[in-house]
Amino acid sequence: MNFLDSTIFINWFKATKRDFVKPEVAGSGFVLHRIEHGEAALTSTLVKDEVALWLSRYKRSKLRDFLDAIRSYTSLTIESPTLDDEVEAESRLGACELGYLDCVNLAIMTRAHIDTIYTSDRGFESVPGVHRLLEDLTKDPKFSAFQKWTREKL
Amino acid sequence: MGRIAVIDADRITLPREFRRQAKVRKGDVLEYKVQSGSLVLSKPRTIEDPTKRMFGIASDVSLDLSGDELFLEHTRMKLRRSK
Strand partners, A118: A4, A133
- The confidence score (pLDDT) of residue A144 equals 95
| Best residue of A4, A7, A28, A71 to probe chain B, by most B CBs closer than 10 Å | A71
- The confidence score (pLDDT) of residue B74 equals 79
Q: What are phi and psi of A33, to 5 degrees?
A: -65, -45
Strand partners, A77: A42
Looking at the complex, does the CB of residue A134 fall below 8 Å from at least one CB of chain B? no
| Residues 6 or more apart whose Cβ sits within 8 Å of residue B6 | B12
Chain B contact set for A74 (CB, 8 A): 27-29, 46
Strands (E), A6-95: 41-44, 76-79
Nearest by CB to B57, which of A33, A59, A153? A59
- In this model, does residue A25 exceed pLDDT 80? yes
ipTM of the complex: 0.89
pLDDT-based confidence at A11, cuts 50/70/90? Answer: very high
Work out the average pLDDT over A29-49. Answer: 97
Q: Which residue has the higher pLDDT, A66 or B68?
A: A66
Cβ-defined contact of B59 to A15 (cutoff 8 Å) = yes
- The confidence score (pLDDT) of residue B73 equals 85
Sign of CA dihedral B60, B63, B67, B72: negative
Chain B contact set for A101 (CB, 8 A): 67-68, 71
B19-61 tens-digit pLDDT: 888 888 877 778 888 999 998 888 777 788 999 999 999 999 9
Chain B contact set for A154 (CB, 8 A): 52, 55-56
Q: Are A108 and A81 in contact (CB under 8 A)?
A: yes
pTM of the model: 0.82
- The confidence score (pLDDT) of residue B31 equals 81
Q: What are phi and psi of B4, to 5 degrees?
A: -125, 130
- The confidence score (pLDDT) of residue A38 equals 93
- The confidence score (pLDDT) of residue A62 equals 95
Q: Which of A85, A72, A2 is nearest to A46 (CA)?
A: A85
Strand partners, A76: A41
Q: Which residue has the higher pLDDT, A8 or B79?
A: A8
Looking at the complex, does the CB of residue A12 fall below 8 Å from at least one CB of chain B? yes
- The confidence score (pLDDT) of residue A47 equals 96
CA A73 to chain B, closest CA, distance in angstroms equals: 8
Q: Are B27 and B42 in contact (CB under 8 A)?
A: no
Percent of chain A with pLDDT strictly greater than 90: 95
- The confidence score (pLDDT) of residue B29 equals 76
Q: Residue A25, Cβ neighbours under 10 Å: how many?
A: 20
Cβ-defined contact of B50 to A58 (cutoff 8 Å) = no
- The confidence score (pLDDT) of residue A84 equals 98
Looking at the complex, does the CB of residue B59 fall below 8 Å from at least one CB of chain A? yes
Work out the average pLDDT over A29-38. Answer: 96
Q: What are phi and psi of A116, to 5 degrees?
A: -120, 135
- The confidence score (pLDDT) of residue B64 equals 74
